[in-house]
Amino acid sequence: MDILKTDTTYNCYCGTGEADKFASALIFDGRRKADPATVKIAVVTDRIVSGYYYNKFEEQFLVRGVKPVLVPVECTGVQKGLAEASSVYEFLVDFGFGRNDWIIALGGGGVLDVAGFCASVFDGGINFIAVPTTPNAMYEGAVAKNAYLNSKKLKNAISVPFKPDAVIIDPSYLGTVPDKIKHNGYADIIRLGILGNLNILIELVKEDNVREFLNHVYVLRHSINETSPKLLALGDELAAAIEGYFRFMNYSDGEALALSLMSCVEEKSRAPLAKIYDLLGLPVKLDGVSSKSIMKVLRENLERNGVSTFEIVDMSDDEPRRWMVKKVTIDEACRIFSARLDVIKSDAEGLV
């Protein structure tokens, strides 16, 4: 089992085929050595992941005399709100969980967000292990600073610190991830490549060694974060407007971000980036909605902040061109986003 190079306060372990025994070892044989006779384990997961992996994952606890509580929750990009968190709470309360017990999140980014939210606030904070099973959860969710919940059409409107005791990344889980979900995880890597090192996109297409690739991803993310953390928000505003307009239905968060990133890059970079999108199954054009409708949602999102100026990530005006954080008024921001929208909008305008 390797420890990946992250800038988090907790260890991020990686080993193929290791999650089915390492999670229990961390709890019962690790630094804190929980007592199997008294500790409770809740495994938060969704129907699809549990169907593939739960029985084998559970076995490591059964051999120690501990029967985990299976907490089923559907946490797609749409279903990642207070209702889902409340359903997890009900299980924890009904089974008498306390702060010395453990929550394990086994699933994609939505499962990690909901379980991480509950772990942070339940009984003042409860022990928590994250076991991501999708690319996006491994690349991004496992090292996120916060656990986020949606509220109606507002993405990530509610947040608490994401503070797992450990993260266990097992690349063998990627074997059953559907292509659409797998592709959804690529957008955050594309953003890192655009901001810092396009060579990482070549590694992404190859998908040779997950452990090595994750190390490169985390090192690049740390480098950008050290330079200017705000840069990691490149593309978020337009992506949120696209997702919000469609109520998270037509475009996944990865697809919406990929579209927004395509709109951000200079013209000379669009054709090469489009080839990568084609290989990864990501859209290059926004369909089914008018530019006016997207801009209405985007302006509403900006106005909700209640401030007169905003910080957005954009290319510098002088040479050499570089990514930078600009402070702009709401009208200036809307002009920038409108120009970006023109890049990705389908020739056929949407009906609404």
CA distance 20 to 69: 16
Q: Which of 126, 148, 177 is the last residue of a domain?
A: 177
Which domain does 78 fall in, by range? 2-177
SS3 content of the chain, % helix, strand, coil (to 5): 50, 15, 30
118 and 186 belong to one structural domain: no
- Asked if residue 89 belongs to a domain, the reply is yes
Model-level pTM greater than 0.85? no
- Helix 199-206 / helix 267-280 crossing angle, nearest 10 deg: 20
The tally of domains found in the chain comes to 2
Phi first, then psi, for residue 261 (nearest 5°) are -65, -40
- Cβ(143)–Cβ(169) below 8 Å: no
Q: Which of 177, 203, 231 is the last residue of a domain?
A: 177
Looking at residue 215, which CATH number applies to its domain?
Answer: 1.20.1090.10
256 and 116 belong to one structural domain: no
150-159 own/partner pairs: CB under 8 Å, 24+ apart: 150/77, 150/78, 150/80, 150/81, 150/248, 151/81, 151/82, 152/247, 153/244, 153/245, 153/247, 153/248, 153/297, 154/244, 154/301, 155/240, 155/243, 155/244, 155/248, 155/253, 158/81, 158/82, 158/117
Residue type, 290: S
For tokens 């372990």, the residue is 13
CA distance 158 to 81: 8
279 and 309 belong to one structural domain: yes
198 and 90 belong to one structural domain: no
- Asked if residue 352 belongs to a domain, the reply is no
84 and 188 belong to one structural domain: no
Q: Which of 177, 203, 222 is the last residue of a domain?
A: 177
Each residue's pLDDT expressed in tens, for the chain with a length of 352 residues: 888 888 888 999 999 999 999 999 999 998 878 899 999 999 999 999 999 999 999 999 999 999 999 999 987 666 788 999 999 999 999 999 999 999 999 999 999 999 999 999 999 899 999 999 998 899 887 888 899 998 876 778 899 999 999 999 999 998 888 877 777 788 989 999 999 888 888 877 776 677 788 888 888 988 888 889 899 999 999 999 998 888 767 888 889 999 999 999 999 999 999 999 998 889 999 998 999 999 999 999 899 877 889 899 999 988 888 999 999 999 999 999 999 999 998 764 443 4
217 and 274 belong to one structural domain: yes
Looking at residue 8, which CATH number applies to its domain?
Answer: 3.40.50.1970
The H or E element that residue 90 is part of is helix 82-94
